[in-house]
Structure 1
Amino acid sequence: GRGSPAAEQESPPGSRFVCTSLPLDAAGAGCPLPPVPMQGGALPPEEELKATVLQLRETVLQQKETIGSQREAIRELTGKLSRCEGADGKSAWKNAVGKGKDTMGDLPRDPAQVIDQLSRTMQTLKDRLESLEHQLRANVSYAALPSDLREMLQRRLGDLERQLLSKVAELEDEKSLLHNETSAHRQKTETALNALLERVSELEKGNSAFKAPDEFKVSLPLRTNYLYGKIKKTLPELYAFTVCLWLRSSASPGIGTPFSYAVPGQANEIVLIEWGNNPIELLINDKVAQLPLFISDGKWHHICITWTTRDGMWEAFQDGEKLGTGENLAPWHPIKPGGVLILGQEQ
């Protein structure tokens, strides 16, 4: 028959409800519901989805009922065990445990404490069952406890023991993994600290003043265009660099070119040069910066030059003292790779 106007307004247009009768045992766990027939052939996709959703809801409800019944059985079994234990107030384990309930409570955070507490709980459960069986035998009332209940208790205790052992094994694995990670981190830290200590010891033992090398590696006795040293290895692409070297020269005027780095298309990619009466110059991509260095006194000098592509910043050091700094020397220009590095000559 027709519904009330309010019902017609609440029902969405085109909605449809299909009902089918089922036997009581037809929708058991894991038993799919039969497809719902409909006049006019196959169901539309929307109806098939609705039927599937209904079937899934039925399955979920049945599983919830099963879980609820299992929980009731567990509570009933726990109550029976408590009643059996409460039959004799003079049990040895009760005198040992005290008045409080023997529950695990919250597990501690420390894995070692968790393992110890789980072991103690498992041992306590074993002692409770053994004490209960001993009481029943001593009072000649063993028949009062049904055999099926006793077997159920033993099975439940066995399951609990297996769960505890599995949890203990997992905690042992986690503890071992944590120990390995901690050991590796400690070893890495100790290695870094040892390296720093060795470096500090070297600096403390050494003299703060710079020492000249015992012997030089490259000697250029004459000002020529054919005496030079060539570095076999090339350079990668660089965005910053620091060059340090020992120099001794009494040439006048100028010391010439201590080193030069050339790449295809640019002979002056990196050059350190002094010609005539001009100061020492650093060239980057053929851009020039004058350095406040003086080394033409026939003595050994240790010089260091730093440069970065960021704003073209540079610094110049001589014998451990910073003598100059500047910027805008080939800013944002990366040093190109694959070039040739020469000692003692331009390119």
Structure 2
Amino acid sequence: MRALFVPLLLLYASGSGGAAGARGAKGTRFVCTAVPAGTDLSCPVDTSSRVQSTSPQEEELRNTIIQLRETILQQKETIVSQQGTIKELNSKLARCEADAGSRGSARRKDYSKNTMGDLPRDPTETVQQLGKTMQSLKDRLENLEQQQLRANTSGGMFPNELRELLKRRLTDLESQLLTRVAELEEEKSQLYNETATHRQRTENTLSSLLERITELENSNNAFKSPEDFKVSLPLRTNYLYGRIKKSLPEMYAFTVCMWLKSSASPGIGTPFSYGAPGQANEIVLIEWGNSPMELLVNDKVAQLPLSVSDGRWHHICITWTTRDGFWEAYQDGERLGTGENLAPWHPIKPGGVIILGQEQDIVGGRFDATQAFVGELSHFNMWDRVLRPIDISAMANCSAYMPGNVVPWVDANVEVFGGATKAALEICEDRLFDS
């Protein structure tokens, strides 16, 4: 900084006239002379004039000088005080603009230059400029303090409140989650208790099926010959049945023979059915409800005079020919009835499915439990011709065995489903035992 020098003016009276003459006596003029600061401004005492009294002009001049001296001293003190204030403000400005960044640093240099470098010489202007500068600095300080307060508020208090709010929210969510888990566990427990009985029944059924499979495997190994077995259908359901793997060719006559054992009522059900494309009731043997046993060919019906529901083994045979639709019914080797006009001149359709124990509403399926066969059957054989009565009697008396030329009764040709089983059986020995 540069020191401020203020010229001190000394007024001397010399001559007369001039603008300053208004203050002094008429005809007196004042001469201004520059004197360095700190010079003793007291006037030399004229010893020759001590005895004389002071004139009014001299007294006025002396008072003016004293007033100027006091003014100068006051200005000096003011400047010193302003310099301290400037230093303090510059120090605060440096700290504040250090926080504000490089842009503030450039401004700080400008303020330093404007405040201390280009200070006007007029004290009044200096004081006014310093006042403006100080007010500007105060405004900037207030702005910075407000910015800092906002920064502290947004960076300190608010995150704390937000964290507390988030903690409470997380606690509520955790409580809700635990409550939901407890409800699900309770529902699971209730569901487990409700289905325990059903699950036990399912396990028992599976165990029973496994036992039957084991029994079937053992019985298959125990068959003395491929035809010495029976199919058991113990329940009236729509899922227990047997199936013949072989199908039928086109036929103009047939003979079906089998052994049956049943005590079901009313009616033994459907021992077998043959469904072909376009005709689910191509050949059906059925005893349904209180009706007598019936033979269906191409969905045409003939009632048969057969009775086999006494719980004993019975041998039955049915013959049919397309010529005049002639049919015959045999039970235990004896012909009990004949008839004609049963689907005359209708050839049996090929490519169908033979089902043991169920009546087919569509080919190979859609069974009705009320029409299911309940009991046991064996030696289901089929021929594409009408057998002689002597041959039928020989098979019924166990004096001969004739496998069917179209469908023979062999183990590999029969499948069972839904819990139906195959077991070893020597039919004639078992029939004699029943007798």
Normalising by the smaller structure, the TM-score range is 0.3 to 0.5
Q: Which structure has the higher relative contact order (CA within 8 Å, separation 6+)? A: 2
Higher strand share: 2
State the TM-score, normalized to the length of structure 1.
0.38
State the TM-score, normalized to the length of structure 2.
0.30
User: Which entry has the higher C-alpha Rg, 1 or 2?
Assistant: 2
